[in-house]
Amino acid sequence: MKQATKLIHAGVEPDPSTGAIMTPIFQTSTFVQAGPGEHKGYEYARSQNPTRKALEGALAAIENGKYGLSFSSGVAATDAVIKLLSPGDEVICANDMYGGTYRLFTKIFEKFGIKFHSVNMQDASAIEPFINENTKLVWTETPTNPLMNICDIAALAHITKKHNILLCVDNTFATPYLQNPLDLGADIVMHSVTKYLGGHSDVIQGALVMNSPELHEKLYFIQKSCGAVPGPFDCFLVLRGIKTLHVRMRAHCENGELIAHYLRNHPKVKRVYWCGFSDHPNFEIAKKQMRGFGGMMSFELKDESVEAAKKVLKSTHLFALAESLGGVESLINHPATMTHASIPREERLKNGLSDGLIRLSVGIEDAEDLIADLENALK
């Protein structure tokens, strides 16, 4: 099945009781049983819900996986993966990952005896000196947030499999439309479904997709036991969002390319971070493992002061100043004080995330209008 067809039909069947082509919203907390243990596959909505089950099937299908699990947020999905571990276990993670992931790892799980090593994974072999008998997981995201670094998923998977270590890839920026980490050897794919999969800035949700039945069983037990599950209406919204992912992502990619080149040629812009430039350090890897370069990018002004950046951030009209990304509307963001504020400044600077960095989530509006908006702000 071709990708566009899969996105529209995956995991969705007409409702057997009515023939409804759209999955119903099963807004219920519990299910009546004919007798103790005699039920139709559903007992209690925290454990399972028909709307959520349809979404989880769709998530698995679009990532070319066997099992999908949905969570109340991307952070909740990440939390479930780390709960596979025990005190004394070690994790190798990307040094420039999303600030919320960094906060969860360092502020929550470190105090439970799990050790995290932050590594620049642009060269996959850089993780090898950190591998020891306690290493249980490698966590990466590609492209990274917000510096758009690219990690070679297949190369990382080759190393992790050799050492019997799990590899989890945050695929939020690329989406299944542009990249499928399971096909490249990853064990788990994580999504902040809030972003491109939902696509309309109206739902908070996360997801995990995997092929291993053992991993699925463990992660389902964590999902059911800890209870960080999305409601049926949120699942309905994401099922609807997935149906247009291919159409939206094409527009995000087209607009992203135009705006990345516009910014790069602007006299007031010092540097643009976008993985579609042919001189990007890992462009060949991006081209090999991705089917496009997306609508996420960051840039720095030649005037490196925070004041200059804030002036731009306050001067756009179509680019709304807000956290999050991946919706149909364009957003502008200041990572140092917003999405990555939880990372200590010295740590941010060490990894290349400057105080003046501006991040864009390029939406699907007309590109000429978006460029005019940026032009006005940069003046």
**What does the pLDDT read at residue 294?**
97
Lowest mean pLDDT among 80-84, 263-267, 304-308, 347-351: 347-351
Asked if 127 and 155 touch (Cβ cutoff 8 Å), the reply is no
* Mean pLDDT (whole number) for 48-72: 97
Say how far apart CA 353 and CA 76 lie, in whole Å: 25
pLDDT-derived band at 341 (thresholds 50, 70, 90) equals confident
Neighbours of 73 (CB within 10 A): 18
**What does the pLDDT read at residue 350?**
81
**What does the pLDDT read at residue 339?**
77
pLDDT-derived band at 191 (thresholds 50, 70, 90) equals very high
Q: For each of the domains in the chain, give its residue range(s) and CATH number, in order of start.
A: 3-242 (3.40.640.10), 245-378 (3.90.1150.10)
More confident residue, 163 or 96: 163
Beta-carbon contacts of 165 under 8 Å, excluding residues fewer than 6 positions away, are 131, 135, 136, 137, 138, 159
Indicate if the pLDDT at residue 10 is higher than 90.
no
What does the chain come to in residues?
Answer: 379
Tell me the two tokens of residue 116. Answer: 């995290």
Catalytic amino acids?
46, 98, 170, 195
Tell me the two tokens of residue 197. Answer: 């999969």
**What does the pLDDT read at residue 61?**
97
Say how far apart CA 82 and CA 78 lie, in whole Å: 7
**What does the pLDDT read at residue 38?**
87
Say how far apart CA 27 and CA 45 lie, in whole Å: 9
**What does the pLDDT read at residue 348?**
83
Q: What percent of the chain has pLDDT over 70?
A: 100
Give which of 75, 70, 130, 63 is closest to 102, Cα–Cα. 75
Indicate if the pLDDT at residue 199 is higher than 90.
yes
- Identify whether 146 is preceded by a cis peptide bond (ω within 30 of 0): yes
Q: What is the largest CA-CA distance in the chain?
A: 73
pLDDT in tens, 104-139: 999 999 999 999 999 999 999 999 999 999 999 999
pTM: 0.96
The answer to whether the Cα torsion of 170, 172, 173, 179 is positive or negative is: positive
Neighbours of 214 (CB within 10 A): 8
